[in-house]
Amino acid sequence: MVSGNVITRILSPIISGLKHIFFRPITIKYPYERTYNIPESNYRFDPKEGVAYPGYKGRHILYLDKCTGCGACDRACENIAEAISMVFGYDVILKLDLSMYEELKKCGEVSSIIELFVEPFSGELKSFEKNGDTYILRMNNDPIFNYRCEVVYENLLEDSLNELVKRGWASELVEYKPMEKMKFKISRDAKVIELVIEKRDFGLKHNKRSTFPAIDYGRCVFCGFCVDACPFYALEMGPSYELSSLEREELFYTPLMLSSRFFETYPPETTWSEKTVMLFRRYR
Ligand code: SF4
Ligand code: SF4
């Protein structure tokens, strides 16, 4: 005869196993599931209380609506890794007179000039607007983040301008505000094109200079000192650890990248039934 004790010993693991079907698992099935940005689990610092809350020290999360551009995070990082730079967002615009645009179009030169300038910006013109008797051609939608407009020029536009000079155009810097604006006059036979690199004003009351931190993950050692230094609760460190890249430039995270949330991405071979199971695991 089987004693009640033995029955209990047989049934209790089965009951426990069945019960856990309805519990949310602690482990995750990486890479089919990822960690999520749950603000309470981020590494953060309360400057008023002077208390740091323990949490995952992965990729930073920047709250643009709180960042005043004070640069305290940048200064905190200076003696650690020099991974932070305060950057501005720039716009690159070509301005062409309407009649001159038509003239250049007739001789088939306009498209080659536009191609020359859009090539460093993913090869696409982002907008083509008419303003009075001028066409305004924008090279970017999202701002181009850098700490100086001079560097934007050197990295993205200098070669295109030199190519135009080789084709017989003359280029002259007609307006220059260090770090803020560069305007070039490109001319040939009474035809004039304007190239403008200008700092974008985000119109934020709390950040009048429109400057934000960008982080170079090729240098960051994930110490969290920048988070501790932020007086405005604008910087935290979250659970995202997938930061490796084959390209050095991709390790430079702009303020927009730092402000984005983590999105779930499944490996391409994941089937719909697997995705459904993952969703069930996540939301139960
Ligand atoms: S966490 Fe990275 S960016 Fe922040 S202070 Fe440390 S090294 Fe610099
Ligand atoms: S993240 Fe914080 S410390 Fe850094 S610039 Fe913005 S407000 Fe200042």
Q: What is the pLDDT of residues 156-185, one digit of tens each?
A: 999 999 999 998 889 999 999 999 999 999
Q: Which domain-ending residue is among 165, 199, 233? A: 199
Closest residue to atom 7 of ligand 1, CA basis: 220
Please indicate whether residue 229, judged by its CB atom, sits closer than 6 Å to ligand 1: no
Global pTM value: 0.80
Distance CA 193, CA 196 (A): 10
- Give 189-201 pLDDT, tens digit per residue: 878 899 999 999 9
- Give 192-225 pLDDT, tens digit per residue: 899 999 999 999 999 999 999 999 999 999 999 9
Contact 68, 202 (CB under 8 A): no
Q: Which domain-ending residue is among 199, 232, 262? A: 199
Atom from ligand 2 closest to the CA of residue 69: 5
Could you tell me the residue range of the domain that residue 99 belongs to?
A: 88-199
Indicate whether 19 belongs to any domain. Answer: no
Indicate whether 119 belongs to any domain. Answer: yes
Domain check: are 147 and 246 in the same one? no
Atom from ligand 2 closest to the CA of residue 68: 7
DSSP state of 61: E
Atom from ligand 2 closest to the CA of residue 62: 1
Domain check: are 55 and 112 in the same one? no
Other C-beta atoms within 10 Å of 284: how many? 10
Ligand 2 pocket residues where CB is under 6 Å: 67-73, 213, 229-230, 232, 234-235
Indicate whether 34 belongs to any domain. Answer: no
70 CA distance to ligand 1 middle (Å): 16
